[in-house]
Amino acid sequence: MTTSEIARTYARVLFDLASAADAVDAADEGVRVVVDAIRGHMDLRNALADAGIPAEKKREILREIFGSTVSSEVVSVVTLAVERGNAGLLDDMARAFSEIAEAERGIVVAEVTTAVPLDERLRASITDNLVASLGRPVTLRERVDASIVGGIVIKVAGRVLDGSLASQLGAVRTQLSTASQGGEA
């Protein structure tokens, strides 16, 4: 089993547990809290990945830090992953959990790339337009990439809508390079 399959398996287990407890939103938020905390604290990250620290001690650490702030389903699955030596997969597990939750709810994920961060007004406008055209709820995954110069690139439902200035300039460049040269005859 590949590491991404292992992370997806943990995510599926978490989704099933959270669904049974009617706590999918809480689990989604909770797993992000755990991942952010572990990513932000090198000592914690090292302790959870250290094979020399007994599993029971790691379980205590996780319960002490997250037991009162995130759902028991999240603590259980994160603890299981850590005990099995998969602490390094928690970020992938969180991402997979979000994908599974969105797919199970019928939410379409649109990857939006812009040269500068979106403001709330533009984010709402893009979301509203995509919801209207797709007829389903939409979640935006935003990415900033200055190389597109301006405009927007949207990847959704297997299609790419490229309105970036970089692609428009490339198209003009191609047209100019293939155009017949004018001049005197």
3-state secondary structure the chain: CCHHHHHHHHHHHHHHHHHHCCCHHHHHHHHHHHHHHHHHCHHHHHHHHCCCCCHHHHHHHHHHHHCCCCCHHHHHHHHHHHHCCCHHHHHHHHHHHHHHHHHHCCCEEEEEEECCCCCHHHHHHHHHHHHHHHCCCEEEEEEECHHHCCCEEEEECCEEEECCHHHHHHHHHHHHHHCCCCCCC
What's the pLDDT at 39?
92
Q: Which of 61, 79, 103 is the last residue of a domain?
A: 103
Phi and psi at 138, nearest 5°, equal: -130, 140
Single-letter amino acid, residue 35: V
pLDDT computed for residue 105 by the predictor:
87
The pTM score is: 0.68
Which range marks the domain in which residue 167 is found?
Answer: 106-178
Mean pLDDT of 146-161: 88
156: CATH = 3.40.30
Q: Are residues 120 and 69 in the same domain?
A: no
Residues 86 and 120 in one domain: no
Has residue 183 been placed in a domain?
no
184 part of a folded domain: no
Same structural domain, 70 and 116: no
**Whether residues 99 and 110 fall in one domain:** no
Q: Per-residue pLDDT tens for 73-113?
A: 999 999 999 999 999 999 999 999 998 998 888 888 899 99
Question: Are 123 and 98 contained in the same domain?
Answer: no
Q: Which comes out higher in pLDDT, residue 179 or 155?
A: 155
Task: Please tell me whether residues 133 and 87 are part of one structural domain.
Answer: no
**Does residue 129 fall inside a structural domain?**
yes
Same domain, 121 and 147: yes
What's the pLDDT score for residue 176? 85
Indicate if 111 and 73 belong to the same structural domain: no
- Predicted pLDDT at 182: 65
Residue 8: closest CA among 93, 80, 105:
93
Cα distance between residue 79 and residue 56, in whole Å: 10
Cβ contacts of residue 117 below 8 Å, gap of 6+? 142, 144
* Overall number of domains in the chain: 2
Q: Are residues 55 and 19 in the same domain?
A: yes
Residue 58 within any structural domain of the chain: yes
185 found inside a domain: no
Query: Residues 96, 33: one domain?
Result: yes
- CATH number for position 38: 1.10.520.20
d(CA 100, CA 52): 33
Residue 168 — very low, low, confident or very high, per pLDDT cuts 50/70/90?
Answer: confident
User: What would the pLDDT profile of 7-60 be if each residue is shown by its tens digit?
Assistant: 999 999 999 999 999 999 899 999 999 999 999 999 999 999 998 999 999 999
Same domain, residue pair 132 and 83:
no
